[in-house]
Amino acid sequence: MADKKPVSVGKRLLFIFITFFILFLIIETILSIYYYHQYGNSKLASAEFLYGIRNQFRPKLTPYNPENQKKVRPDSSDAFNDLVTKETALSNVYEYEPWVEFKNIDYKGSYMNISDKVRKSIPESYINPASTDTLLIYFFGGSTMFGFNVADFETIPSYFVEAYRAKYPNAKSIKVVNWGCPNYYSYQELMLFTKLLIENHKPDIAIFFDGLNDFWFGKMNYSSESFYSFYFRKSYFAKRPPFTTDKWFTDSLQALFKTPVGMDEKTFSDQLIANYFKNMESTKRMATVAGTKTYFFMQPTPFYKYPNQQKDPMVFHDTDTRFNYIYPILEKRADSVVNFSFMGGMLEKEPLYPFVDGFHYAPHIHRKMAAEMLSKVEKDF
């Protein structure tokens, strides 16, 4: 019997390649059926599957970690820090709202309280018995102004009242209202402010605090859409209610960070800056009609002039962001724009933990922000 000829290396490699290719097609077909029915994506299903696995190991955008709370409040009890974390998670739910697309649900807790779009401030006012009138001050912004991951008495408006009372005990009485909402940016704040004026709200002063949402989540600023606009559209055409576990949410969130296809980063960033100032000017025009004085502040971020960013265990360590281009431009323009203050460099010499999670601030930073705002607004008291 003649000996069989050994199979050549080339044929073996071809056999292995064909086997793996057929196996890949089978897996791709199975995953495509799943992803088609779940998300309707047109990408390779196997790539989508691996991408999903990778995302499981990435830090969450707003991680609920009581250990972080303990780092920034070492003198507070574990029970307090745990409850602030828990109530932040439970209240982080939204519902549809005309004009602005979404708002926080009402929530009542020990340290987190929201009612009809307003986050509770403690204290919410300073009453000087000798004062004949009360200044009404509205605060607008995203999650920083709202006070994400901090208690009611640790928000910027709350600290503003404390700072005012200590500095001006004999001045006019004041009352603050915190209209901040996570994921809002300058355009949504303009829409909310306009809606409030139409509803006959008459604040004496309105303070706007922005930066991160306008420029990091750049797509929504560029398109004048909300954080959830793409998500809402996808759910509408899918003819079923959306869920936060949907891949739609992840896709829409990731898209917000990215520069549009076919556009260079500089052109995109310049348009974001232009849109921010356009929203500011529109807000000022509305305020002039209502007799409200406006002040605009640009917030610090972990991505600009924060030397400890890479060593800070709580913040995002991204370095490839557009803030190193945008923020120097805003800093230069601050002196020439009326009632616009740049606070983007306030972390440059910060010795303590300034953040309680990926990009939300610790209570002691809120106190500093409130003091800085007071120093700019006090000329109108």
CATH number reported for the structural domain that contains residue 200 in this entry? 3.40.50.1110
| 153: helix, strand or coil | helix
Residue 40: its pLDDT value, please?
44
pLDDT band at 42 (very low <50, low <70, confident <90, very high): very low
Render the burial of 33-60: b for 16+ CB within 10 Å, e for the rest: eebeeebeeeeebbebbeeeeeeeeeee
> Averaged over 194-217, what is the pLDDT?
96
* Within a domain: 24: no
For the chain, what is the domain count?
1
**Which helix (H) or strand (E) segment is 200 a member of?**
none
Task: Give the structural domain span for 362.
Answer: 66-380
40 assigned to some structural domain: no
In a domain, 12, yes or no: no
Max mean pLDDT among 31-40, 67-76, 211-220, 246-255 falls in: 211-220
Q: What is the pLDDT of residue 25?
A: 78
- The pLDDT value recorded for residue 38 is 47
When pLDDT is averaged across residues 152-181 and rounded to a whole number, the result is: 97
Which segments of the chain does DSSP mark as H helices, in order?
9-38, 45-56, 66-72, 78-91, 143-146, 156-167, 186-198, 212-215, 218-223, 229-238, 247-257, 265-290, 323-333, 363-377
Q: Name the pLDDT band for 66 (thresholds 50, 70, 90).
A: confident
> pTM of the full predicted structure?
0.82
Quick check: is 56 in a domain? no
Span 256-274, mean pLDDT?
93
Q: Please give the distance of CA 184 from its chain centroid, rounded to a whole number.
A: 7
Residue 343 within a domain: yes
- Dig out the tokens for 183 from the structure: 């994921």
First-residue to last-residue Cα distance in the chain:
108
Q: The tokens 């102004």 sit on which residue?
A: 145
pLDDT for position 17: 82
Average pLDDT over residues 104-115: 97
For residue 270, what pLDDT is reported? 98
Is residue 312 in some structural domain? yes
